[in-house]
Structure 1
Amino acid sequence: MSVEILQVENVKKHFKIGPNQTVKSVDGISFSIKKGETFGLVGESGSGKSTLGKTIVGLYSATSGRVSFDGHEFGDLDKKTQKKLNREMQMIFQDPHASLNPRMRVEDIIAEGIDAHRLAKGKERQELVYHLLERVGLRPEHAQRFPHEFSGGQRQRIGIARALAVKPKFIVADEPISALDVSIQAQVINLLEDLKHEENLTYLFIAHDLGMVKHISDRIGVMYLGKMMELTTSSQLFEEPLHPYTEALLSAIPLPNPRLAKKRERIILSGDPPSPVNPPSGCRFRTRCPYAMDICAKAEPSWKEVKENHWTACHLYSK
């Protein structure tokens, strides 16, 4: 069996926005990621995916719960161990325009982690930056340019090079292609896959494009309003979805064959997602679920393994 490199146990991240108001962005999430796998995390906007990713790498402190990486539990670490984990866990951000400092040259952007962890200096530092640029499909002469001189796809490659610079073990890719043109998305995905095998990386890949997540992920977790709805292997999720929310998401994926698309029944969810400030009682999805029952409003469904390695939280499977 593969070794688990990351464990997330009942993690919550709440934000206070007023005297008596709290946004429950992540509200009790548990899962693990095995070394060398790509774990896909999907859900519509506002489901808490990005907040969870940032909490995992330590950009946010968890309100409660436990995050353990490579045998070390966050929150109770000495400075040396914390710095080591900061190096081993990196993040690729959604918007490459916003995540790169416009006043810094590309060489210094990529070398920020190298400098912070004192991995190289002088000519060795410069050669390492040149090597990283070439690894992500850019040229050494790009090192002296500024971010505004690049296209969106090139800027995302710079962000990937920055994450790779400190030789991490684990990378959270937070919707790394959603801000890019469709023609560029496949190039970035192929680059991430190549780097994963060459550098023995483990990914948490956050996205709302289910088709892309299916292509790149070994296992997939489906989030809705701060909760995990379903978790299983990529093939199992697409072949036999258990949760009504997953069924609705899958029905929205465009099919390239017009005949198949015409035959497929599209599941249209009523209403908008509720506010994470005041989520529904019981099951979070019940206000939009076509199968909602009385018990869905009264009790939160338990997280259970309905089939082997196939987990869901739904009262349809509570018997």
Structure 2
Amino acid sequence: MTETIIQIEQMKKYFPIGKEKTVKSVDDISIEIKRGETFGLVGESGSGKSTLGKTIVGLEDPTSGKIVYNDLDLSQLNKKQKRQINREIQVIFQDPHASLNPRMRVGDIIAEGIDAHKLATGKNRQDRVYELLERVGLQPEHAKRYPHEFSGGQRQRIGIARALAVEPKFIVADEPISALDVSIQAQVINLLEDLKEQEDLTYLFIAHDLGMVKHISDRIGVMYLGKMMELSDSDELFRDPLHPYTKALLSAIPIANPEAERRERIVLDGDPPSPVDPPSGCRFRTRCPFAMDVCAKEVPEWREVKEKHWTACHLYNK
């Protein structure tokens, strides 16, 4: 088994709109996710991070590039291999209300994957559902209820149980806490961390909340308008951010004790440009306080500025 579980090579995902226009949602991304880690992915709305996650799990097909899982190119699989990969790669969705079928009982929702992959029947199936409910902090009797009878946090736990039901190896958690009350978010994060250790899972954790991403992630990638801006170990990214966009994101994190920690707030001008017609050169240049002439002319090289710390910025391409 290799150290890398997911390898994304020059992946693009474009959505045609109309006859001539195209939304460049993910544009030439190359990353590796290591077995057993939590890889955090952050960025503003519209940066392409959720599209990247959906493409990895097969909900979208890449326009070009490759996704390699455990040395298997996902675009070259036969039917049997696809079935196995569908079991090993699961997703936890952002909205637990929209992602659960309101007409199905919770027990049947959780058992969908068990039934599809013929993992258990009869009493064994029922026992597995009860076990999964208890694993995520719910009760066996909850199996007979419907999703609308639960709170948002409980529904997200049901979604987690459904993902766990087929014993996956890799889970894409697509903003799994953003629709939850703040008081519930930490509980769900702690549950995900416990399950990761118990089940030997690997996560792609997509979120807006940089503070929460720092807490749960081993490495963090920062996306902006379809491009990867920076990637490094979590502690290193917070200690020494390189890209101006990353610095602006970090400056916006609320400080628990302003007297003990001084931080200069970086306010970006304007909104992100449209992914239909992104700026030439560096995508961030129209909002960057350090933009130079070269930023409009050339796409910055993705390079390792420090050990295991990558960025795409002309400030470091001299």
> Hey, what does 1:281 align to over in structure 2?
280
What letter corresponds to residue 163 of structure 1 in structure 2?
A: A
Deviation by residue 1:132-170 (Cα, 9 ceiling, x = unmatched): 000000000000100000000000000000000000000
Q: Which runs of 5+ in 1 are unaligned?
A: none
Q: Is the 8 A contact 2:2 2:70 kept in 1?
A: no
> Hey, what does 1:138 align to over in structure 2?
138
> Hey, what does 2:110 align to over in structure 1?
110
CA distance, structure 1, for counterparts of residue 71 and residue 302 of structure 2: 25
TM-score normalised by the chain length of structure 2: 0.99
> Hey, what does 2:194 align to over in structure 1?
194
RMSD value, Cα = 1.0
Q: How do 1:221-260 residues align onto structure 2 when only pairs under 5 Å count?
A: 221-260=221-260
Q: Secondary structure at the match of 1:16?
A: strand
CA distance, structure 2, for counterparts of residue 118 and residue 137 of structure 1: 25
Q: How far off is 1:298 after superposition? A: 0.4
CA distance, structure 1, for counterparts of residue 161 and residue 110 of structure 2: 6
Deviation by residue 1:104-146 (Cα, 9 ceiling, x = unmatched): 1001100110011000011110110000000000000000100
Q: Secondary structure at the match of 1:75?
A: helix
**Aligned CA distance change for structure 1 residues 295 and 31 (closer, same or farther; 3 Å):** same
> Hey, what does 1:302 align to over in structure 2?
301
> Hey, what does 1:10 align to over in structure 2?
10
Q: How far off is 1:264 after superposition? A: 1.7
Deviation by residue 1:3-50 (Cα, 9 ceiling, x = unmatched): 111100111100011101111100011100111000000001110010
Q: Secondary structure at the match of 2:29?
A: strand
What letter corresponds to residue 247 of structure 1 in structure 2?
A: K
Q: How do 1:123-162 residues align onto structure 2 when only pairs under 5 Å count?
A: 123-162=123-162
Q: Secondary structure at the match of 1:191?
A: helix
Q: Which runs of 4+ in 1 moved over 4 A?
A: none
CA distance, structure 2, for counterparts of residue 253 and residue 143 of structure 1: 39
CA distance, structure 1, for counterparts of residue 18 and residue 178 of structure 2: 31
Q: Which runs of 5+ in 2 are unaligned?
A: none
**Aligned CA distance change for structure 1 residues 2 and 182 (closer, same or farther; 3 Å):** farther
> Hey, what does 1:55 align to over in structure 2?
55
Q: How far off is 1:259 after superposition? A: 1.6
Count residues in correspondence: 318
TM-score normalised by the chain length of structure 1: 0.98
What letter corresponds to residue 293 of structure 1 in structure 2?
A: M
Q: Secondary structure at the match of 1:258?
A: coil
CA distance, structure 2, for counterparts of residue 110 and residue 97 of structure 1: 15
Q: How far off is 1:2 after superposition? A: 7.0
CA distance, structure 1, for counterparts of residue 32 and residue 229 of structure 2: 15
Deviation by residue 1:266-316 (Cα, 9 ceiling, x = unmatched): 000001000000000000000000000000000000100001000000000
